[in-house]
Amino acid sequence: MTPDRWDAATFKSRVDEVLHPFVAREADLFAEIDPSLAPVAAQVEAAVADGKRLRAAFCYWGWRAAGQPDSAALLRAAASLELVHAAAVVHDDLIDDSALRHGRPTAHIVLRGAVRRRPRSAAAARSLAMLVGDLLMGLAGQLFATSGLPAAYLGRARPLWSVLGRELIAGECLEILRTGAEPDTEASLQVIRYKTAKYTVEQPLLIGGALAGAGRRLREGYSAFGLPLGEAFQLRDDLLGLFGDPGRTGKANADDVCGQRPTALLAETWRLAGDDDRSLLRDHLGRRGLDEDGLRAVREVMWRLKTPALVEDMITARVEEALGALHELDVPAGASDALSALADSAAVRLS
């Protein structure tokens, strides 16, 4: 990637060159405290092994779109947002009791091996996983603060970290509170907005812009672009969760149905369903150990009601809204091209 030309693979490599050594050093220091901590340290490293690095990318281009040059220090600051994401993923898998992520067992499943001879070993493993997530969040702040950017720059962005944390945790809480409730589309969209959309696109852009000293109009443009795009990202995730190829998504298709999670896909299906379809959905939503026949029955209801197509329309509308806002921004051509490409990769993907 030349500084003004976007290449996703090259950018990911640059972020990984920051993240992997930083987390490996911190994990080693953690494990030095006591040998029994080694399995926990290993999960800290595993949490950052994969990822598209979208959050770092939006932060980077929030900086570049404000007219700032390519910067190794900025890249370190942007990479810290990937540690926020890693922490959120560990906590989310724990809350949802998900067994797989990126095709591998999740932290709370792996850590059962560290406590298998202890009383209440499953609960102990879950507690260890929670602390893995907490440690990752702490490391995010450390990497940001030691990025090498001037203190005045960091000071402009620091208040946004409180906003990011508050909104992310609010979204997780809302998902827990609404899981198992009667599906409702507006409630589901609120969960999407706070649990994913804001910290995936809008807040990284705003943090990059704040670091760069972006003005009010540009910051408002970032929000107008970032919020609908972030919602499109999660709506795509919901579709992939139920209809995607587990070999690509690395997650089980039945998770959202078994958990009766407040996704827009399930909410739109419920809204359009008649009495017979709602009866079938009641029999399957929230059912642990749902077999392939049960999952197929839920999918057939959705296909018949055309709710996957409705969610596709929701994604398309949000991407168009985001791109419309981007075209209104007065930013360098390279930044505009990169953000357009990122919009496409966030909303049109197979994993």
24, amino acid identity: A
HSE-up of 99 (CA within 13 Å, CB side)? 10
Task: Give residue 146's Cα distance to chain centre.
Answer: 24
Q: Contact 178/262 with Cβ under 8 angstroms? A: yes
pLDDT at 1: 52
Query: Contacts by 306-313 with C-beta closer than 8 Å and gap 24+?
Result: 307/265, 307/268, 307/269, 307/272, 308/239, 308/243, 308/265, 310/268, 311/235, 311/238, 311/239, 311/264, 311/265, 311/268, 312/239
Token pair belonging to 30: 């953690």
What is residue 165's three-state secondary structure? helix
Task: Please tell me the distance from the alpha carbon of residue 6 to that of residue 339, in angstroms, as a whole number.
Answer: 9
Q: Contact 50/65 with Cβ under 8 angstroms? A: no
Tell which residue, 113, 107, 74, 60, has the closest CA to residue 88.
Answer: 107
Mean pLDDT for back-to-back runs of 10 residues, the chain (351 residues) = 78 98 98 97 97 97 97 98 97 90 92 91 95 98 98 96 96 94 95 95 98 97 98 95 86 85 95 96 88 92 97 97 96 96 89 73
Task: Give the contacts of 248 (CB within 8 A, at least 6 positions apart).
Answer: 350, 351
Identify the burial level of 262 via C-beta atoms within 10 angstroms of its C-beta, where 0-12 means exposed, 13-18 middle and 19 or more buried.
Answer: buried
Task: Please tell me the distance from the alpha carbon of residue 83 to that of residue 86, in angstroms, as a whole number.
Answer: 5
Task: Please tell me the distance from the alpha carbon of residue 326 to that of residue 315, in angstroms, as a whole number.
Answer: 16
Task: Please tell me the distance from the alpha carbon of residue 234 to that of residue 256, in angstroms, as a whole number.
Answer: 13
- Give, in order, the Cα–Cα distances in Å from 241 to each of 48, 257, 258, 335: 21, 10, 12, 31
- Give, in order, the Cα–Cα distances in Å from 298 to each of 252, 290, 318: 15, 11, 26
Quote the crossing angle between the two packed helices 121-145 and 8-32, to the nearest 10°. 120
pTM of the full predicted structure?
0.95
Task: Please tell me the distance from the alpha carbon of residue 160 to that of residue 207, in angstroms, as a whole number.
Answer: 6
Tell which residue, 218, 174, 171, 176, has the closest CA to residue 197.
Answer: 171
Tell which residue, 292, 237, 228, 225, has the closest CA to residue 261.
Answer: 237
HSE-up of 137 (CA within 13 Å, CB side)? 17
Q: Contact 218/65 with Cβ under 8 angstroms? A: yes
* Domains defined for the chain, CATH in brackets: 8-347 (1.10.600.10)
Q: Contact 82/51 with Cβ under 8 angstroms? A: yes
pLDDT at 288: 81
C-alpha dihedral over 222, 227, 230, 232, to 10 degrees?
-120
